[in-house]
A and B are shown apart, each in its own frame.
Chain A
Amino acid sequence: MRRLRVQLTVLLAMLGLLVAAWGATIFLGARNAALLNASEQFEVGRFDELRRSAIDFEMKFVDAETNQRDFLLTGNRGARMRYALARRRADERLLRTGVLASTWPTLLLPLERVQTAYVKWAKAAEAEIGARDRYGPGAAAVVVSQGTSQNRFTELRVNHTALEKLLAGLQVAAARQQRSTYQDTQRLALYAAVMILATVTLIFVYLRRAVGAPADALRSASGRLAGGDLDTPVELPVPNELGAVAADLEVMRRRLAGRMDALQRLRDLSASVMGATSLQRLCSVALAGLGPEVGATRAALAAVDQRGQLQLRALAGFDDSDVTEILVKIDEEIRAALPLDDLRDGQVVGVTDVGDLASTAAEPVRELVARMGARSLALVPLVSRGSFVGLLGLFWSERHPLDQEQEALLGLAGNQIAGALAAALRYEEAERAAGEARAVFYAIADGVLLTDPAGRVTAMNRAMELLSGWTEAEVKGMPYAEVLPVEEEGSLPIPAEARPLARAIATGEPASDQGYGVDLVTRDGRKVPVAVSSAPILDPRGGVVGAVDVVRDVSREREIDEVKSALIATVSHELRTPLTLIHGFAELLVLRDMPVERQRAAAEEILEASRRLGRLIDDLLSVSRMESGRLVLNPRPLDLASVVERILSPFRAMAVRHAIRAEVASGLPVVWGDPDKVDQILTNLVGNAIKYSPGGGEVVVSVSVSVALPPELREAGLPDAAARAAGDWGGVEFVKVSVRDQGIGMSPREMGQLFEKFYRVDRDEVRRAGGTGLGLYITKRLVEMHGGRIWAESRLGAGSVFSFTLPSRDDLVGRGSR
């Protein structure tokens, strides 16, 4: 494409030539004119000389004729001499004129005529002179009178005049010719100028066509490109360099348009990935967006989990479920094979041959690569706000080296996807947190209800459904105060605006109603004591967007509270009564003079009260130890027969009104038990038997091998209960101890809570007997800690039998203690 240059060169050369020709023309013309001028000058000079010579000639021959006449008339010798001189001069002039005129052929004939005429005149004039000389004046007169010479002279003059005229005409013609030469030169110069002008015009026109217009077109095309118009093609069908520039521009435009398209697609991709909330969707969208751009057919998406570990999260384009499974399974090995350092730096890594990458990797990875049939791979790091959040892998079935443009595109796309991935991960986390919150919300044992700022229910958990009798679906949108009406003690409805939830919404601070005796009225009208606490739900700017009401059923707590108050009252009462006696009698002893027997009675009262106080404290400590699990048994093999004897002997000594006896069967197995605790059990039961048979009577402690079951099992109606029990208990023998009295006995109603803490049969005889209500409770716990059971049989007024069992094997100790 050197045409423009060649053309321009040719044109310029032509122009140069023309200018040169023009110059030459002017130069030559001028030179010619100058030369012509010089020859003319010369000729003019000659011509002038010729004319002068001709005129001289005329003057001389006229002089000669005048002097000849003079001589003829006068015979003056002087005249004759002058004549001769003039004649010589005339001859000379004539000769000279002839020489001078020789260059003008047109003069030859007239000159010849002049010469002829001169010669003729001269002959005649000579003849006359001769005549005179020889014949004297008369002869001369005659000859003259003939007029020959006169005629001849006239003729000469005529011819000479003709020559003169001719010469004058010739001079005019010469002048004319000189002028015409100048004109020719001028004309030539004019023609040359016109030609040059024409050529320049041609060149101009050509340049305009070949350079100017295309340059304008190029200018406007580049202007359009610069202005961002990538749609209008650059067309310039001129076969020269400008055309080539235009073609280049067009290529450039197409590439730019391509880039713009790619950018547009990238934007579309960005928009679609931003909409993807699940990682699977994100992976599919990324493949759909990037696949056509770069030709990849499969994609894998990995995300950095909370432990900072890269984890494969989604696949797209993998039809082979086997491969999918393997990919997930060998995530760890794949991770090890990845150039993670480069990726963390944000570099797109193109792997033209996956085989190369896999060759150094673990066996399963190589296997997977072979199986997957992927030839090339691009690893696009997903970096969001400077942190590496994941990795997008793109797979090609064919060999596909990544070019720079694709790498750049993938890098850009990676940024978009990274943002979306980070958002998706945040979304996932938020979902998880919301799920957790939901799970907590629904699982929490207290009733929880959510409302909007207007107090309308938006959610309610299971506990609240159970508590209120409503279901969540029924109450959504209802004012919460209608769902959960509450009353103060005394059945006064609490107005909605005074409730914690309303206060929380109004103040933006948590509020609660606790310990004020608030009752919730359930859907079916029951009243449940509740503690209510509420908190506003705040948005990040602190605006109230809702509220949460937590309602706890405190009926159990109330019960426990009441039990605790009763316990305190009981313990206080039980402690203060002996203390009152000690204080009172001691004060009387100090202040009063009393007879000795009175003093003794008072001291006994004090002693008994002190014992009672001691027992009470022991019992309370035992209960406390047992209930806190600090009471530990130290079981040892025990011979119950001797234990019973040892326990009974002090009672026998004290209880004079009672017949206390032991009935011990023979061949008893050794039982396991903590000696102190077994003592306590027996002491309690025997003590009770004596205490509650104020009228005296028999107290019998019998010890036997137990095959019998506690009454509640017997009542279950098992036909062969004993054998079965023996089998159930692994054939382990128990020793049964029964304490029988003939005392006041109990009604079935009174027996109901017999073994419960602080239970006292509400009867005078019982009151009178004193006691803390802890003895049987402690006894039962101790028996059960040993793996035995305790029960009572009684009839009102007909005495009672308290029985317990103890196992004969140590590994059963502790069984059933709770």
Chain B
Amino acid sequence: MKLLIADDEPSVRSLVHVTLEGDQHTILEASDGVEALAVARSEHPRIVLLDIMMPKLDGLAVCRALKSDPATSGTVVVMLTAQAQERDRDQGLAAGADDYFTKPFSPLALLNMVERVREARPGAGEPAPGPR
């Protein structure tokens, strides 16, 4: 399964990478919003993990762009944010995100979420939001 992690912090990308490696996942990386959108459109990852605070284009905008484009609207978008306020979460869900991880997040929870998405639809296609 193809995953995209978009975060301007290399260490966070590295963490996600280390967490998911060895499960036959293809892990794509992007360090800003513009790059994340480009990669998501070209590579069609099943899951996109989006940091909200990113240079050039923030995660919310990327999420809205993905969800409004029929070609990418099926992507499971999971927001990763350091902002724990209700407002941020609401904004994220309003932008169409399927799930929401607050930093610091547990790698185990991330694995579970990925596993649920894979089980829900082994084939590519419909989004399967996991419960929080």
Residues of A near any B CB (own CB < 8 A): 569, 572-577, 579-585, 587-588, 591, 598, 602, 605, 608-609, 762-764, 767-768, 770
Could you say which of B9, B32, B55, B104 contacts A583, with CB atoms under 8 Å apart? B104
Decide if A591 touches B108 in the complex (CB within 8 Å): yes
**Residue contacts A-B, CB under 8 angstroms, 7 given:** A572-B84, A576-B104, A577-B103, A583-B106, A588-B15, A598-B18, A764-B55
Tell me, rounded to whole Å, the shortest Cβ–Cβ distance linking A617 to chain B.
16
Tell me, rounded to whole Å, the shortest Cβ–Cβ distance linking B85 to chain A.
8
Q: How far is the CA of A521 from the CA of B107 in the complex (A)?
A: 52
Q: Check: B82 CB closer than 8 A to any chain A CB.
A: yes
Residues on the B chain within 8 Å of A583, using CB = 104-106
Given contacts A576-B84, A602-B18, 10 further A-B contacts (CB under 8 A): A572-B83, A572-B84, A576-B82, A579-B104, A580-B82, A583-B104, A584-B105, A605-B15, A608-B11, A768-B31
Residues on the A chain within 8 Å of B11, using CB = 577, 581, 605, 608-609
Tell me, rounded to whole Å, the shortest Cβ–Cβ distance linking A605 to chain B.
6
Cβ-closest chain B residue relative to A767 = B8
Tell me, rounded to whole Å, the shortest Cβ–Cβ distance linking A632 to chain B.
34
Q: How far is the CA of A617 from the CA of B103 in the complex (A)?
A: 18
Decide if B104 touches A585 in the complex (CB within 8 Å): no
Closest 3 CB pairs of A and B: A576-B82, A583-B104, A573-B82
Residues on the B chain within 8 Å of A575, using CB = 82
Cβ-closest chain B residue relative to A760 = B55
Residues on the B chain within 8 Å of A572, using CB = 82-84
Decide if A605 touches B32 in the complex (CB within 8 Å): no
Residues on the A chain within 8 Å of B84, using CB = 572, 576
Q: How far is the CA of A588 from the CA of B2 in the complex (A)?
A: 21
Cβ-closest chain A residue relative to B88 = A569
Cross-chain pair count, CB within 8 angstroms: 76
Decide if B103 touches A576 in the complex (CB within 8 Å): yes
Could you say which of A577, A582, A584, A763 contacts B19, with CB atoms under 8 Å apart? A584
Decide if B104 touches A588 in the complex (CB within 8 Å): no
Tell me, rounded to whole Å, the shortest Cβ–Cβ distance linking B7 to chain A.
9
Q: Check: B65 CB closer than 8 A to any chain A CB.
A: no
> Which secondary structure dominates where chain A touches chain B?
helix
Tell me, rounded to whole Å, the shortest Cβ–Cβ distance linking A758 to chain B.
12
Q: How far is the CA of A583 from the CA of B8 in the complex (A)?
A: 18
Tell me, rounded to whole Å, the shortest Cβ–Cβ distance linking B19 to chain A.
6
Residues on the B chain within 8 Å of A605, using CB = 11, 14-15
Could you say which of B10, B103, B104, B105 contacts A768, with CB atoms under 8 Å apart? B10
Cβ-closest chain A residue relative to B19 = A588
Q: Check: B53 CB closer than 8 A to any chain A CB.
A: yes
Contacts A585-B18, A768-B10 given: A763-B82 contact, CB under 8 Å? no
Q: How far is the CA of A587 from the CA of B105 in the complex (A)?
A: 10
Residues on the B chain within 8 Å of A591, using CB = 107-108
Decide if A577 touches B55 in the complex (CB within 8 Å): no
Decide if B53 touches A580 in the complex (CB within 8 Å): no
Residues on the A chain within 8 Å of B18, using CB = 585, 588, 598, 602
Residues on the A chain within 8 Å of B83, using CB = 569, 572-573
Q: Check: B38 CB closer than 8 A to any chain A CB.
A: no
Complex interface bits, B51-65 against A, C-beta within 8 A gives 1, otherwise 0: 001010000000000
Q: How far is the CA of A770 from the CA of B18 in the complex (A)?
A: 21
Q: How far is the CA of A552 from the CA of B72 in the complex (A)?
A: 48
Complex interface bits, B1-29 against A, C-beta within 8 A gives 1, otherwise 0: 00000001111101100110000000000
Q: How far is the CA of A577 from the CA of B10 in the complex (A)?
A: 11
Decide if B8 touches A764 in the complex (CB within 8 Å): yes
Cβ-closest chain A residue relative to B14 = A605
Could you say which of B9, B55, B108 contacts A763, with CB atoms under 8 Å apart? B55
Decide if B105 touches A580 in the complex (CB within 8 Å): yes
Q: How far is the CA of A802 from the CA of B14 in the complex (A)?
A: 33
Residue in B8, B82, B83, B84 with the greatest tally of chain A CB atoms within 10 Å: B82
Tell me, rounded to whole Å, the shortest Cβ–Cβ distance linking B49 to chain A.
12
Residues on the B chain within 8 Å of A768, using CB = 8, 10, 31
Residues on the B chain within 8 Å of A763, using CB = 55
Cβ-closest chain B residue relative to A573 = B82
Residue in A574, A576, A591, A762 with the greatest tally of chain B CB atoms within 10 Å: A576
Residues on the A chain within 8 Å of B10, using CB = 768
Cβ-closest chain B residue relative to A591 = B108
Cβ-closest chain A residue relative to B53 = A573
Decide if A584 touches B32 in the complex (CB within 8 Å): no
Residue in B84, B103, B106 with the greatest tally of chain A CB atoms within 10 Å: B103
Decide if B107 touches A587 in the complex (CB within 8 Å): yes
Q: How far is the CA of A587 from the CA of B18 in the complex (A)?
A: 11
Residues on the A chain within 8 Å of B19, using CB = 584, 588
Q: How far is the CA of A8 from the CA of B13 in the complex (A)?
A: 147
Q: How far is the CA of A215 from the CA of B82 in the complex (A)?
A: 120
Residue in B8, B15, B102, B106 with the greatest tally of chain A CB atoms within 10 Å: B15
Tell me, rounded to whole Å, the shortest Cβ–Cβ distance linking A647 to chain B.
27
Residues on the B chain within 8 Å of A762, using CB = 55
Tell me, rounded to whole Å, the shortest Cβ–Cβ distance linking A600 to chain B.
12
Tell me, rounded to whole Å, the shortest Cβ–Cβ distance linking A176 to chain B.
164
Residues on the B chain within 8 Å of A598, using CB = 18
Q: How far is the CA of A587 from the CA of B107 in the complex (A)?
A: 7
Tell me, rounded to whole Å, the shortest Cβ–Cβ distance linking A602 to chain B.
7
Residues on the A chain within 8 Å of B12, using CB = 577, 580-581, 584
Residues on the B chain within 8 Å of A584, using CB = 12, 15, 19, 104-107
Q: How far is the CA of A789 from the CA of B108 in the complex (A)?
A: 51
Q: How far is the CA of A581 from the CA of B102 in the complex (A)?
A: 13
Residues on the A chain within 8 Å of B82, using CB = 572-577, 580
Residues on the A chain within 8 Å of B31, using CB = 764, 767-768
Contacts A573-B82, A591-B107, A767-B8 given: A580-B55 contact, CB under 8 Å? no
Decide if B32 touches A764 in the complex (CB within 8 Å): yes
Complex interface bits, B72-110 against A, C-beta within 8 A gives 1, otherwise 0: 000000000011100000000000000000111111100
Q: How far is the CA of A401 from the CA of B103 in the complex (A)?
A: 101
Decide if A579 touches B103 in the complex (CB within 8 Å): yes
Cβ-closest chain A residue relative to B22 = A592
Residues on the B chain within 8 Å of A576, using CB = 82, 84, 102-104
Tell me, rounded to whole Å, the shortest Cβ–Cβ distance linking A208 to chain B.
119
Tell me, rounded to whole Å, the shortest Cβ–Cβ distance linking A279 to chain B.
64
Residues on the A chain within 8 Å of B105, using CB = 580, 583-584
Q: How far is the CA of A598 from the CA of B21 in the complex (A)?
A: 12
Cβ-closest chain B residue relative to A569 = B83
Decide if A587 touches B106 in the complex (CB within 8 Å): yes
Contacts A588-B18, A764-B32 given: A577-B9 contact, CB under 8 Å? yes
Could you say which of A587, A588, A602, A767 contacts B55, with CB atoms under 8 Å apart? A767
Q: How far is the CA of A303 from the CA of B15 in the complex (A)?
A: 86
Residues on the A chain within 8 Å of B104, using CB = 576, 579-584
